Structure 1
Amino acid sequence: MPLIQGFSIDTIVNLAKATVLNPLALIVFLGYKAREADGWPERTGLVTTAYAFLSIYATTWLSNRWRNGLIPQRRLNSKTWPNEIVLVTGGAQGIAKSLSEKLAAKGANVAALDIVDFKSSHPNIKAYKCDISNYDDLKRIRSQIEKDFGGHVTMVANVAGLNNKSLILDLTPERVSRMIDVNLKSHFWTAMLFLPAMVKAKRGHFMSVASTMGFVGICHQSDYVATKHALVGMHESLHYEMQKMYKTPKVRMSTAIIGHTKTGLFEDFDVGPLGRFLGPKLEPSDVADQMLDAFESQDGKMILTPFMNNLTPSIKAHPWFTRDLIQAAAGGDGSYPSRPSASQLASSA
């Protein structure tokens, strides 16, 4: 069991970033060493480490600015948020519900969609029953949103998703089709229906929630992994289409690459003590905060949480024996209780 409940690698990283690895602390340290040496500080291990982390911070900043333009846009505020009409899918619960409420609290106009009937007490949120996997139903809702809010959707948060949690031989054609319809096709439908107005306005924000499994595959998740890999690739293409084809770089593309979260999709997902240390289960509200910050900053981003998602893409560059050790430590394989049936394992001889 964990040493401390909730203690994880993210606890260590966040503490370090707030103290000894804080950029200001590193600059003060290097300044002190320079004064002590009356010139450039001697290259000790600590000095080299300080230079290395400052380089990482600088590279990350420059990368974000290069992607979004060297001159940042002004953050949205209490005067500008009311001009935004934000579409949020899956708005009845979980991350989407939390995000809708946070957006509304900022003053945004929120159109929250879900396949079930639901209501919101916040006056800035209008709830719509909609099957987002159905293009015609979503098109009908678009017309209703424009009528209700008096304008076009300026931001989209594709949050809704399914998780079958099944080994491939336990899946049915109907379940696979439904997974692809909700977890992938719906993102194409929202792009095709809501991006045209953003392109004409030359600004907007289109965001989708992907997953750690957009980078790696694990047992019980072949259909889920396939849709999340596809989403990561889709957003890479859309970013370049906005930049180079439509000439609308201020139509931002963001992808939230998140680990397992405290929602119904992962309620019985158990990776074990080491897996929980490396990849702690996320609070929906914390994920919503990071998505809100991307919208508010008006920067396209790849949100990577928990911390290990910053390292996950590199796993494909490892030799298989190293990758298998990492994957075993993470605990994803076998994290769901189902196992192959006796009939599936029976010899045909």
Structure 2
Amino acid sequence: MIRSLGFVAALILLNSAWAFPGPNFLPLSEDQHELLVTILNWLLALCLVCEVNTELSRWAEDKWIWKDDKSVWNWGNEVAVITGGSKGIGAMVVKTLVSYGIRVAVLDVEPLSDVFLSEESNSINFYKCDITSRVQVHEAGEAIRSDFGSPSILVNNAGIGNANTILESSPEGLRTIFEVNLLSHWNTVQEFLPDMIAKKKGHIMSVASLAAFFGLAGMTDYSCTKAGLIAFHEGLTQELKHRYSCPQIKTTIVYPNWTRTRLIRAIEKGIRGPVMDPKDVAEAMAKQIISAKGGQVILGPNIAASIRALPTWLQEFIRDRMAHIVTVKATTAVA
């Protein structure tokens, strides 16, 4: 935003200079001068429209709350629940939140990895939990409230992926990926949201993917689960505003680009372009939480979110360019 405003200011100054040029300011004819001024005015108007549009979008994403009350957040007293927090992106999110003094409860089927330092252990509790089981999530929730108190932050990070075509996908594999990547969000939100509503404070973050914006050959099931998270995020946001009168509870959806985790190990050679480091994804997620703002976090080309607004031929061209990435058959991998 600062750069945009600076650009606007520069345009205004240049416009003034061209509108009232001093001697020998520019060796232009009168017609050329008028054309330059016209172009500059249109650029200035376009820049202002874009800036207004950006601010309106941010306002809408934050549930039309103009000014957030950050004073309600005391990071040393906050408790965060992170699914899939033992390894990969989730582990980096845990470490980053702990650095702010937040206590973290990790829900995972795998034990904590060795990336955690001994001094971090006092702020982290591990709960072995299959998040696809409503019973196990409830049992973990009871244990967390007993150990830490009611969580105010929920990061639904856990995710798995397959590298299979539609014809190669098994019923068991489909059921598992939908339960982990999408249906588990109902389990965790049903468990932890009521306390947030009672306190009118909380932040629920869903980790999707840029794959949510377009289906890719060889990973249709994964794209479907991440596209479903868009609807989940939007529906949750609407219900908080219009069913529970709690716009104060923040909702965020994160769209990482390809990230170097176990999820892409089998297909990484086919990826063209940069691959993100889990630490960079985690820092962006933590920054959103610490800023106490809701909305979208797109970690990649912003055009990805608008791909369906493009002409059909251009959409298909983009998908065709990515059809080579997933050409192997791989078993389920964890993010």
The CA distance in 1 between the partners of 2:268 and 2:71, in whole Å, is 39
Partner Cα distance (1:70, 1:88) in 2: 26
> Partners in 2 of 1:44 and 1:112 — Cα distance?
58
- 2:270–2:326 CA contact under 8 A, matched in 1: no
Query: Of residues 51, 66, 74 in structure 2, which corresponds to 1:71?
Result: 66
Are residues 87 and 76 of structure 1, via their aligned partners in 2, closer, same or farther at CA, if it must alter by over 3 Å?
Answer: farther
CA distance in 2, matches of 1:186, 1:70: 29
* Unpaired segments ≥5 residues, structure 2: 22-33, 330-335
Aligned partners of 1:75 and 1:296 also within 8 Å: no
Query: AA paired with 2:8?
Result: I
Aligned residue number for residue 6 of structure 2: 25
Distance 1:233 1:338, change over 3 A: same
After TM superposition, give the deviation of residue 163 of structure 1 in Å: 0.3
Q: Secondary structure at the match of 2:57?
A: helix
Cα offset for 1:62? 2.5
Equivalent-residue separation in structure 2 for 1:314 and 1:27 (angstroms)? 25
Letter of the 1:242 partner, please give it: L
Distance change in 2, residues 1:47/1:200 (3 Å) = same
Q: Secondary structure at the match of 1:170?
A: coil
Q: Quick one: structure 1 residues 252 and 35, their matched pair in 2 at CA, closer, same or farther if it must change by over 3 Å?
A: same
Aligned residue-pair number: 309
Post-superposition Cα deviations, 1:299-348, rounded to whole Å, max 9, x if no partner, equal: 11111111x2x22233224443222212233x2x1212327xxxxxxxxx
- Contact map agreement 2:200 2:249 (CA 8 A) in 1: yes
TM-score (norm 2): 0.85
- Which of 300, 305, 327 in structure 2 is aligned with 1:313? 305
SS of aligned partner of 1:195: helix
Pairwise mapping of residues 12-51 of structure 1 onto structure 2 (< 5 A)? 22-36=3-17, 37-38=19-20, 43-45=37-39, 48-51=42-45
Question: Which aligned pairs between 1:85-124 and structure 2 lie closer than 5 A?
Answer: 85-118=79-112, 120=116, 121=118, 122=120, 123-124=122-123
**Distance in 2 (alpha carbons) for counterparts of 1:43 and 1:113:** 60
Give the aligned residue type for 2:319: Q
| Aligned residue in 1 for 2:30 | none
Asked if structure 2 preserves the Cα contact closer than 8 Å seen for 1:118 and 1:129, the reply is no
| Distance in structure 2 (CA, Å) of the matches to 1:116 and 1:76 | 36
CA RMSD of aligned residues (A): 2.4
- What residue is the counterpart of 1:261 in the other structure? 259
Q: Is the 2:82–2:104 Cα contact (8 Å) retained in structure 1?
A: yes
**Map of 1:10 onto structure 2:** none
Structure 1 residue 108, shift from structure 2 partner = 0.6
The whole-number CA distance in structure 2 between the counterparts of 1:145 and 1:155 is 12
Residue 317 (structure 2) pairs with residue 325 (structure 1): yes
Residue 238 (structure 1) shift: 0.7
User: Residues of 2 paired with 1:319 and 1:32: CA distance?
Assistant: 37
- Is 2:173 the partner of 1:175? yes
Change (3 A) 1:162 1:246: same
Q: Aligned AA for 1:294?
A: Q
Among candidates 320, 324, 327, match of residue 334 of structure 1: 324
Higher-Rg structure is 2
Code of the residue aligned with 1:212 in structure 2: it is L
Aligned to 2:285: 291
CA 1:338–1:269 in structure 2 vs 1: closer, same or farther (change >3 Å)? Answer: closer
Do the aligned partners of 1:168 and 1:220 also contact (CA within 8 Å) in 2? yes
Provide the rounded CA distance (Å) in 2 between the counterparts of 1:282 and 1:49.
34
- Output aligned runs, 1:126-141, within 5 Å: 126-141=125-140
Matched, 1:250 2:245: no
Q: Distance in 2 between matches of 1:313 and 1:71?
A: 24
3-state secondary structure, aligned to 2:177: helix
Q: Deviations over 1:46-91 (max 9, x none)?
A: 55435433432332123212442443224479x8111211001111
Q: Is the 8 A contact 2:15 2:41 kept in 1?
A: no
Distance 2:305 2:12 in 1: 35
The answer for unaligned runs of 5 or more in structure 1 is 1-16, 340-349
Once residues 112 and 61 of structure 2 are traced to their aligned partners in structure 1, the CA distance between those partners, rounded to angstroms, is 38
Is residue 146–residue 152 contact of structure 1 (8 Å, CA) maintained in 2?
A: yes
Using the TM superposition, name which of 294-303 and 98-107 deviates more: 294-303
Percent of matched pairs sharing the same residue: 29
